[in-house]
Amino acid sequence: MRIALAALALGLPAVRVGFAQQVAGATFGDVIQLAGGTPSDVVLDEPRHLLYLVTNTTNTVYVLDYTSNQIVGSISVGANPLAGAMSVDGAWLYVTSAGTSSLNVIDLSSRRVSQTVLLPSAPQGVEVGSDGRALVSMNGSVVGGVPQNTLAIFDRTQTGSA
């Protein structure tokens, strides 16, 4: 009898956990099919009513008009793009590409890559400050116990690399 009760007690939580983990679908919004699947990053361009969807499986940034739920353009970037960030003035989009160890600088007025900057190691994230400079975080390397090439600052107004 005790074994039967113990088995029943152990079985009940499993049933409840299984029930609680059922997927019930989205509770808001619409699902939009995107070539290449789920984006690795999304950047909001509120004044233009656009989302920039960084998709590393297609090496593309898709441009989605969120008022019509339609893809209205695409921008080809370097291999394996991971992250994006827009300048405060809304003129530039910065996208990191890990496969080419580069930073893609996109002119949003033309929706084209205007500059590709080679980085010393594979980039991960990017953010843009109020001064317009982009901070890029990278995998880097360790030399003699000291991390190297983990952060870079890129200033579009200066010539040269990050």
pLDDT at position 119: 93
Q: For the residues 95-115, what does the mean pLDDT come to?
A: 97
Percent of residues, the chain, with pLDDT higher than 90? 65
Residue pLDDT, tens place only, 113-160: 999 999 999 999 999 999 999 999 999 887 888 778 889 999 998 865
Pair 124, 84: CB distance under 8 Å: no
- Top pLDDT among 27 and 124 is at 124
92-97 and 102-107 beta bridge pairing: antiparallel
Report pTM: 0.78
Distance, CA of 153 to CA of 138 (rounded, Å): 11
pLDDT confidence band for 4 (50 / 70 / 90): very low
Residue 7 has pLDDT above 70, yes or no: no
